Amino acid sequence: MSVAESMMAVKHILKSITGKITNGEKRREAAAEIAKEYGYGGQTFAAKELQMGRNTVRKGTLEMESGEKTKDRFSERGRKKATEKHPELEGQIKAILDAQSQADPKFQTERLYTNMSIGEIRKQLIFKYGYTDEELPTERTLDTLVNKMGYTVKTVKKSKPIKTVEETELIFDNLNRVHEMSKEDENTVRLSIDAKNRIKVGEFSRGGTSRVRVEAYDHDFGDEYITPFGIMDVKNKTTGIYLTSKVTADFIVDTLEKYWTENGYSNSGKKLLLNLDNGPECSSHRTEFMKRMIEFSIDHNTEVVLAYYPPYHSKYNPVERVWGVLEVHWGGALLDCEETIKGYIESATYDQKHLKAEIIETVYETGIKVKTKIMNLYEKALERIAGLEDYFVRISPKRCMEKLPYELCFC
């Protein structure tokens, strides 16, 4: 074997041995010993053959000569995080963003009337806390920090009730109880009813988007409106929507009777659990509505429980979710006539089931009231839960027959 071949073999063995050493201190020690044995140019030789930096070999040589080991401090390399340089930074960002969420019309807070972009946050840090531009991280780094703190970009949610009533928690407790009972009772049909905000009929923009060219009037002329009224079977997740010019107490009960009869529930022995909100036309103290619901109970031999959601919490009513689906579905369309609205409703789905729609041509009279003397008689047939009289009402056909005069039961 020639000298060159021997040298190659030695190099191979050296690489093999040092390659198995993963500890940095041990690798430097091995490199230093090789450099010492090699003599002049040994550090360059060791660095090249062992694929190390010459500074690393020098460090190993100094350690070997001094007998003191250098501690590796990789964590201290590179630039420090912004929060390490300025540990108070997160708290300052939180103070700026939390102040922005406080609504105070009297200007007694530090609320900023501007969009809280990353650039604005950076600007406020400089203005309020005296940072220089060079001291603060870049907008990109600041964006990452703000996101990690949980202040990610969010859409505005309609989740804050205007106010509550004292009974709110108790109402929800009772709602949860009756809903759980209805799940286990196959004889109970749970329906959720509600009217959507009225829709202006015409070639008007609804602010949505479309993949096809849509041109709407540049002004919202016209005074033609239509109101969708929904009835959802909560257990089956099916929904029927009835379009009317005006939602009244008589319209609500007529539509409910139509739904009840067409689905084969009349005189079937089924009970009705009806979820609704305390709107003006279906309140538990709306005389015409309560009179008609008593008549409904008698005519169809159906026990009815009216279970109202608390004021300002109607968004929990299940049928409300359908309105959100519809707004997305027809957002970029022109609802130029009743048939167009009906068509869009029927092409929409909720829980993978198509909605049903029907136009009600009947025009209902508004403002119908039952005289106090007569209503006092009807009130005797109602069973209201003590303490929650406005929100839970039971109507039993048997009790109605017992408590009401014959002419009121069969008028």
Q: What is the DSSP string of 24-61?
A: HHHHHHHHHHHHHHH-TTHHHHHHHHTT--HHHHHHHH
Task: Identify whether the C-beta of residue 250 lies closer than 8 Å to the C-beta of residue 288.
Answer: yes
DSSP string, 184-249: H-TTEEEEEEEEPPPEE-SS---S---SS-----SS-----EEEEEEEEETTTTEEEEEEES---H
Q: How confident is the model at residue 84 (pLDDT cuts 50, 70, 90)?
A: confident
The closest alpha carbon to 86, from 131, 147, 124, belongs to: 131
The DSSP 8-state label assigned to residue 381 in this structure reads: T
Of residues 281 and 203, more confidence is placed in: 281
Q: How confident is the model at residue 40 (pLDDT cuts 50, 70, 90)?
A: confident
pLDDT, mean of residues 379-384: 94
pLDDT at 245: 92
pLDDT (tens digit, 9 = 90+) per residue, 90-115? 888 888 887 766 544 444 445 555 56
The closest alpha carbon to 391, from 181, 163, 178, 158, belongs to: 178
| Segments making up each domain of the chain, as ranges | 3-71, 82-148, 168-409
Torsion of CA 60, 61, 65, 70, to 10 degrees: -30
pLDDT at 337: 83
Terminal alpha carbon distance of the chain: 123
The closest alpha carbon to 36, from 49, 45, 27, belongs to: 45
pLDDT of 57 > 80? The answer is: no
Question: Which contacts (CB < 8 Å, 24+ apart) does range 314-321 have?
Answer: 314/194, 314/277, 314/279, 315/158, 315/159, 317/192, 317/194, 317/275, 317/276, 317/277, 318/192, 318/232, 318/234, 318/275, 319/192, 319/193, 319/194, 319/230, 319/231, 319/232, 319/239, 319/275, 320/194, 321/350
pLDDT at 58: 81
* Phi, psi for 393 (deg, rounded to 5): -130, 130
Q: Answer whether CATH 3.30.1330.30 is correct for domain 168-409.
A: no
pLDDT, mean of residues 249-254: 96
Whole-angstrom distance, CA of residue 62 vs CA of residue 52: 16
Pairing of strands 225-233, 188-195: antiparallel
Residue with tokens 């420090």: 80
Of residues 255 and 52, more confidence is placed in: 255
pLDDT of 160 > 60? The answer is: no
Percent of the chain with pLDDT over 90: 40
CA 149 to chain centre: 19
Whole-angstrom distance, CA of residue 350 vs CA of residue 318: 11
The closest alpha carbon to 82, from 115, 127, 128, 122, belongs to: 122
pLDDT, mean of residues 265-289: 93
pLDDT at 211: 41
pLDDT, mean of residues 362-370: 92
Task: Identify whether the C-beta of residue 351 lies closer than 8 Å to the C-beta of residue 237.
Answer: yes
pLDDT at 297: 95
pLDDT at 33: 78
pLDDT at 190: 97
- Output the CA torsion sign for 393, 399, 400, 403: negative
pLDDT (tens digit, 9 = 90+) per residue, 312-351? 888 899 999 999 888 888 776 677 788 888 998 999 999 9
For the chain, the C-alpha Rg in angstroms (whole number) is 38
Residue 194 token pair: 């509600």
Task: Identify whether the C-beta of residue 28 lies closer than 8 Å to the C-beta of residue 62.
Answer: no
Mean pLDDT score of the chain, rounded to an integer? 81
